[in-house]
Amino acid sequence: MNRESMRMDQAFDLMHEAVRRIAAEVAAPQAADVDAKARFPSETVAALRDAGLLSAGVPRELGGAGCNLQQQAHLCATLAQACGSSAMVLAMHYIQLACIARHALESKFFRGWLRDLVAGQYLLASMTSEVGTFGETRTSVCAVERKDGQFLLNKDATTGSYCAYADAILVTCRSGPDAPGADQVLVMVKREDCTLRQTTSWDTLGMRGTCSPGFRLESSGPQSQIVPGAFADSSAQTMVPYSHVLWSSLWWGIAADAVAKAANFVRGQARQNPGTTPPTAARLAEVSKQLQDMKQLWLSAARDFDALGAEAGGQEQLLSMGWALRLNNLKISCSEAAPQIVHRALQIVGILGYKNDSPFSLGRQYRDSLSASLMISNDRIAAKSASMLLVFKDAP
């Protein structure tokens, strides 16, 4: 290992330590209140800002930490063990940031904006879902209009996580009024240049702190805020891999939190009858295997994704069916595994896990994990995989 990569590893270790501290001292104590009131985890996001963690994915040449996907996944997984909503906010911010950091560096405006983000620790949200597109992210109804160097963009979004608290929003839209639905671009809308009118509520089973109601967005700004290139490419090369890896890592964190509670419970039972192994210990062993299997899925995908960055033509490979299928499988597997693991942890803990006011309570983790299969519906993803498999013949 050369000196530069050792220095980067040490810098990452410090960041990871900062997230562990924020998870334990800020996110965990606030998690129940965030969940009960369906309120934004403002204390946790403020602590992440203070620790400079919102610029983890900004390239080092622009003053950021230059963390790769594996590292960002570890940060999300750690925070999720304390508060799933906070981790989802961090993951969604990292996903949007990656779209800019990996696709807009040729733009003078975006290079400057990323530098400003490092200094100001801006929070970035997204608006992909839209009334009329039925959960299909790769098509838009709304279109960006361009005139005299300015853009105009209005959108009716069905779901906009923490948009009301973000400094900027990345919005998908058609590239122009005459463009077909799939000819999309990403536009960065600054909070001060838009109005947001909340159109629906966010009183959900779980992930309540993401504060994700529908919004009517009306915005304008300079055309330099349109991310260069087609969203088709930034979606396949960045938004989809980052989303599926970072979501999987945080769903794993939620599951790991549940298993840790179950393990504490089993150890407590063992202490009550020294010299005996409680029957729940065997179930703990089974669920810890499933948790480990789940971790390997997102970790190996993140490793392979990061390795592509060093390979000639690596980014083109991300446009291949092989990668699309792998990422689809990752999302479906991890979104199914997370609630299963929490369910098994609940069977181990029993009634103390079912109670909302017990230290072993698993209600929030269970409800949060149920969002995973809906967040871009697994059926929708499976249908896309099914059509690719009609022509793709390699072993997955």
Q: Give contact residues for ligand FAD (rule: CB under 6 A).
A: 92, 126-129, 134-135, 157, 159-161, 207, 210, 212, 371, 374-377, 379-380, 383
Instruction: Using the structure block, give the residue that is written with the tokens 């009118």.
Output: 197
Cα angle for residues 123, 12, 287 (degrees, 5° grid): 90
Q: Which is nearer to ligand FAD, 71 or 129 (CB)?
A: 129
By beta-carbon proximity to ligand FAD, the closer residue of 66 and 206 is: 206
> What are residue 125's DSSP bridge partners?
169
Smallest gap from Cβ 121 to ligand FAD, in A, equals: 19
Q: C-beta of 210: minimal distance to ligand FAD in Å?
A: 5
Work out how close the CB of 269 gets to ligand FAD at its nearest, in angstroms, rounded to a whole number: 34
CB nearer to ligand FAD: pick between 281 and 374: 374
Which residue blocks in the chain are alpha helix, DSSP H? 3-22, 28-37, 42-50, 69-80, 84-103, 108-120, 231-234, 240-272, 280-310, 314-317, 321-349, 351-354, 363-369, 378-389
Q: At its nearest, how many Å lie between ligand FAD and the CB of residue 169?
A: 9
Least distance between ligand FAD and beta carbon 368 (Å): 8
How near is the Cβ of 77 to ligand FAD at its closest, in Å?
A: 17
Pick 212 or 369: Cβ nearer ligand FAD:
212
* Pair type for strands 168-174 and 124-127: parallel
Other beta carbons less than 10 A from residue 356's beta carbon: 11
Residue that the structure tokens 């981790």 belong to = 87
Q: Per-residue DSSP letters for 327-388?
A: HHHHHHHHHHHHHHHHHHHHHHHTHHHH-TTSTT--HHHHHHHTTTTTTTTHHHHHHHHHHH
DSSP-derived secondary structure for 120-158: H---EEEE---TTTTT-TT--S-B-EEETTEEEEEEEES
Q: Which residues of 359-378 are buried (b: 16+ CB within 10 A; e: fewer)?
A: ebbbbbbbbbbbbbbebbeb
> Residue 9 carries which side chain, given as an amino acid letter?
D
C-beta nearest to ligand FAD: residue:
135
8 A C-beta contact, residue 148 and residue 180: no
Type of residue found at 129: S
Q: List the structure tokens of 217.
A: 């967005």
Q: Between 312 and 390, whose beta carbon lies closer to ligand FAD?
A: 390
Which residue, 13 or 379, is less far from ligand FAD as judged by CB?
Answer: 379
In the bound complex, what is the minimum distance in angstroms from residue 225's beta carbon to ligand FAD?
18
129 or 248: CB nearest ligand FAD? 129
The minimum distance between CB 273 and ligand FAD, in angstroms, equals: 42
Q: Given the complex with ligand FAD, which of 84 and 278 has the nearer CB atom?
A: 84
